[in-house]
């Protein structure tokens, strides 16, 4: 099929706008901001080895993690893009201590949306030319339009998301998103600068044979996770499963959605609350997971039902093919205290 016969991202949004609960030109402009920023980030990533943007930036973010140069660049690009169209009243990012109130433009405070994001997930992999990504989550503000955005606009349960998605910068660049009516993937044609619908109605297989977890931390895992890993490795029925772990959430998630699998980032003895961030990593990926027929859990409860209390709140994370997540939840429930 010729790429020109495939709908572009913009055409697709217009075609499906009635599927979106809050159909308006604002949402189209918001997604347009994200796709424009992603193209700029993609350009920096593709030229990283020859433009002196590899390596550490020399400071740490609010998480206490060493920032990479491209973390800083990607963060600035997305914040600048989201500030230009008067459709976003606030942004929260992994790279900033607090949320950012958007005031540029005469109507900025009248904007209805807030965006939470991880501007460059897996950025430590850039130096070794491994796929990285951007994760975004979109909510409607709950405080009155025309007033300054507040923390409560960001501390919403995942069930309140109106859209979520990710961009994966890999062998090809893809933007995958949902508005609550299924998951669709768009591939960037760099020669034309447009995203084309390449993966309509993406779905997790009900079951799978891939488990993605950093087994180097095995001794620190809860007993239920240890038991599940042993289950995956046993030679019986359709096992052993295949272990595949890239260390970039977007890349591991994308593979598992296409091939069938489970991604696990549990609590550990060193990080009893987990390590991944609820609001801008787990919630958007959980929304995508459920819209693609999969399941997302903290090992005991649905991710999207967790009531957030902190902007950078962490949680254990299990997501992927429904049967695989249900099996690991069974091991978690049955593990000794």
Q: Is 124 annotated as a binding residue?
A: yes
Question: For 45-73, what is the mean pLDDT?
Answer: 66
Contacts of residue 214, defined as CB under 8 A and 6 or more positions apart, other chains included, come to: 245, 247, 265
Does the annotation list 245 as a binding residue?
yes
Confidence class for position 23, pLDDT limits 50, 70, 90: low
Distance set, CA 118 to CA 58, 165, 225 (Å):
19, 11, 26
Q: What is the pLDDT of residues 157-216, one digit of tens each?
A: 999 999 999 999 988 999 999 999 999 999 999 999 999 999 999 999 999 999 999 999
The reply to whether 191 sits in an annotated binding site is no
Instruction: Tell whether 120 is in a known binding site.
Output: yes
Helix ranges (H only) for 211-270 are: 223-233, 249-259
- Answer yes or no: is 94 a known binding residue: yes
122 labelled as ligand-binding?
Answer: yes
The predicted model scores a pTM of: 0.93
> What class is the 210-334 domain?
alpha beta
Q: Is 227 annotated as a binding residue?
A: no
Between vectors from CA 288 to CA 2 and to CA 258, what angle results, nearest 5°?
Answer: 55
Is residue 166 part of an annotated ligand binding site? no
309 has pLDDT over 90:
yes
Does the pLDDT of residue 90 top 60, yes or no?
A: yes
Mean pLDDT score across all residues of the chain: 90
Question: Tokens in use for 263?
Answer: 């991604």
Superfamily of the domain at 3-199: Fructose-1,6-Bisphosphatase, subunit A, domain 1 (3.30.540.10)
**Which residue ranges make up each domain of the chain?**
3-199, 210-334
Strands (E), the chain: 56-60, 66-68, 88-93, 100-101, 113-121, 132-140, 163-169, 173-178, 183-189, 194-199, 210-212, 242-243, 261-265, 276-277, 295-297, 314-315, 317-320
Q: What is the pLDDT of residue 1?
A: 45
pLDDT at 46: 85
118 is in an annotated binding site: yes
Residue 24 has pLDDT above 70, yes or no: no
Ligand-binding annotation for 321, yes or no, is: no
Say whether 214 counts as a known binding-site residue.
yes
Judge whether residue 58 has pLDDT over 60: no
Q: 294 pLDDT exceeds 80? A: yes
Q: Is 90 exceeded by the pLDDT of residue 19?
A: no
pLDDT higher than threshold 60 for residue 143? yes
């Amino acid at each position: 099929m010729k790429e020109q016969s495939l709908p572009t991202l913009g055409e697709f949004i217009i075609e499906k706008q009635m599927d979106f609960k809050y159909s308006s030109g604002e949402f189209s402009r918001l997604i347009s901001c994200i796709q424009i920023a992603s193209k700029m980030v993609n350009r920096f990533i593709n030229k990283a080895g020859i433009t002196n943007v590899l390596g550490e930036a020399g400071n740490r973010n609010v998480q206490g993690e060493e920032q990479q140069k491209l973390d800083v660049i990607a963060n600035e690009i997305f914040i600048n893009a989201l500030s230009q169209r008067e459709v976003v009243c606030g942004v929260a990012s992994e790279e900033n201590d607090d949320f950012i109130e958007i005031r540029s433009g005469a109507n900025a405070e009248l904007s209805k949306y807030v965006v939470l994001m991880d501007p460059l997930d897996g950025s430590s992999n850039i130096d070794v030319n491994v796929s990285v990504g951007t994760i975004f989550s979109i909510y409607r503000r709950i405080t009155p339009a025309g007033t300054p955005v507040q923390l409560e606009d960001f501390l919403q349960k995942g069930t309140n998301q109106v859209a979520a998605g990710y961009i994966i910068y890999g062998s090809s660049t893809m933007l995958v998103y949902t508005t609550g009516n299924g998951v669709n993937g768009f591939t960037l044609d760099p020669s034309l600068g447009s995203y084309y619908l390449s993966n309509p109605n993406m779905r997790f297989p009900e079951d799978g044979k891939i488990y993605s977890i950093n087994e180097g931390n095995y001794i620190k895992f809860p007993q239920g996770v240890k038991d599940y890993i042993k289950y995956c490795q046993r030679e019986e029925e359709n096992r052993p499963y295949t272990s595949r772990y890239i260390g970039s959430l977007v890349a591991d998630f994308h593979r598992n959605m296409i091939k069938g699998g489970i991604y696990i980032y549990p609590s550990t003895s060193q990080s009893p609350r987990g390590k991944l961030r609820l609001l801008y990593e787990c919630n958007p990926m959980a929304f995508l997971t459920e819209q693609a027929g999969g399941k997302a859990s903290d090992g005991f409860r649905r991710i999207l039902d967790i009531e957030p209390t902190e902007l950078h709140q962490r949680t254990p994370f299990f997501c992927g093919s429904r049967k695989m997540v249900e099996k690991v939840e069974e091991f978690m429930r049955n593990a000794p205290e």
